[in-house]
């Protein structure tokens, strides 16, 4: 049987296309997955789309099943949900999550897919990678009962963090964003909301995810003395200036990074599989549907990606749906 599939490739910065690819015969410990949905992580993927990955970070930024190299041509993405069409008996027919790019069908090692828990619909499970980032951030941040917390930046990652923090007992959590439309999202997630100038200060912890130097400066301003900012933003090739004079030292503020590429040292006894499984369990909460703010067909990606990158399509997670699977396999 000659198997073919279609994949979205970045041909050059700002220009994507759909290519036909040939799939290998799955081996004994591999699975053939038919995609149902994938997700576009607007922050990271649009940075990749515009060619903004600095050369020093090319190796660090590689996705698990990326093909090609930055800046282009490259096949990039990591939020995929599909059905196992062929593979070990324990996985055959299961709906699974995989860190795979936008492609109609693919073959990967069986260990690379994670079955969805009961109660987590396929359309919501595209958020697993982002919720996993939020889990790692909170392992790094170690919030305590009763903390006063701000999340600066109401994008996909910031909203995921706010959603998880809203479950902590006694915590005051406020999502801070320059877009007043994010107030509705915050309400759906169970968090408070404020514009940057109106945000509540004296915070024990601020999680920053706006990817702007103005947002990071505001995050420092919102801290109590000896408070901590956990930096989740990734700026690509853009330099960032910070007010580390002024009261930064006298107030003994802490600024620390968090990045999903490694497990938080605070949970060194956990594996990547443990972290992803936890993220999928947390997606049983229907409130997280508020993070999916748009959808298009796979065939529309070459048109949709430039509009997502420019902000013409405002999105947290933009979901890609896959249809007409019979076109992808030819005897």
Domain boundaries, the chain: 4-119+284-329, 130-267
Name which residue leads in pLDDT, 60 or 328.
Answer: 60
How do residues 254-281 score in pLDDT, each as one tens digit?
Answer: 999 998 889 999 999 999 999 999 999 9
Instruction: Answer whether residue 236 shows pLDDT above 80.
Output: no
Q: What pLDDT score was predicted for residue 42?
A: 77
Q: What pLDDT score was predicted for residue 235?
A: 81
pLDDT grade, residue 324 (50/70/90)? low
Report domain 130-267's class: alpha beta
* pTM score of the predicted model: 0.90
Residue 205: name the closest of 227, 232, 174 by CA: 227
Arithmetic mean of pLDDT, 94-107? 98
Could you tell me if 205 and 144 are in contact, meaning their C-beta atoms sit under 8 angstroms apart? no
Name which residue leads in pLDDT, 135 or 246.
Answer: 135
Domain 4-119+284-329 has CATH 3.90.180.10: yes
Arithmetic mean of pLDDT, 306-330? 79
Arithmetic mean of pLDDT, 15-39? 97
Instruction: Answer whether residue 330 shows pLDDT above 50.
Output: no
pLDDT grade, residue 239 (50/70/90)? confident
Residue 309: name the closest of 63, 70, 45, 8 by CA: 45
Percent of the chain whose pLDDT exceeds 90: 84
Cβ neighbours of residue 183 closer than 8 Å, sequence gap 6 or more:
193
CB atoms under 10 Å from CB of 133, counted, come to: 24
Burial of 209 (0-12, 13-18, 19+ CB in 10 A): buried
**Distance between CA atoms of residues 32 and 106, nearest Å:** 6
Q: What pLDDT score was predicted for residue 2?
A: 57
Tokens for 78, please give them.
């990591």
Residue 91: name the closest of 99, 100, 82 by CA: 82
Instruction: Answer whether residue 327 shows pLDDT above 70.
Output: no
Cα radius of gyration (the chain): 20
pLDDT grade, residue 46 (50/70/90)? confident
How do residues 207-217 score in pLDDT, each as one tens digit?
Answer: 999 999 999 99
């Amino acid at each position: 049987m000659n198997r073919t599939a279609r994949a979205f490739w970045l041909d050059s910065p700002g220009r994507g296309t759909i290519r036909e690819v040939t799939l290998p015969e799955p081996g004994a410990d591999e699975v053939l997955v038919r995609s149902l949905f994938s997700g576009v992580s607007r922050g990271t993927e649009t940075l990749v789309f515009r060619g903004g990955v600095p050369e020093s970070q090319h190796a660090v930024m590689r996705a698990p099943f990326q093909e090609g190299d930055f800046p282009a041509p490259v096949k990039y993405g990591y939020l995929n949900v599909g059905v196992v069409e062929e593979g070990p008996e324990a996985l055959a027919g299961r709906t699974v999550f995989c860190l795979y790019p936008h492609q109609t069908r693919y073959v990967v090692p069986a260990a690379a897919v994670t079955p969805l828990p009961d109660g987590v619909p396929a359309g919501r499970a595209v958020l697993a990678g982002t919720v996993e980032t939020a889990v790692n951030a909170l392992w790094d941040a170690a919030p305590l009962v009763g903390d006063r917390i701000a999340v600066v930046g109401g994008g996909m990652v910031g909203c995921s963090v706010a959603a998880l923090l809203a479950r902590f007992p006694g915590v005051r959590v406020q999502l801070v964003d320059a877009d007043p439309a994010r107030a509705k999202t915050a309400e759906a997630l169970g968090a408070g909301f404020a514009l940057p100038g109106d945000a509540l200060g004296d915070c024990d912890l601020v999680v920053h995810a706006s990817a702007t130097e103005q947002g990071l400066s505001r995050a420092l301003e919102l801290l109590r003395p000896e408070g901590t900012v956990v930096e989740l933003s990734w700026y690509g090739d853009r330099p960032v200036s910070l007010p580390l004079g002024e009261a930064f030292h006298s107030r003994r503020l802490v600024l620390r990074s968090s990045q999903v590429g490694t497990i938080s040292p605070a949970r060194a006894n956990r594996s990547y599989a443990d972290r992803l499984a936890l993220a999928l369990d947390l997606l049983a909460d229907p409130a997280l549907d508020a993070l999916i703010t748009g959808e298009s067909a796979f065939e529309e990606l070459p048109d949709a990606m430039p509009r997502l990158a420019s902000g013409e399509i405002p999105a947290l997670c933009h979901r890609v749906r896959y249809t007409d699977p019979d076109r992808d396999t030819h005897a």
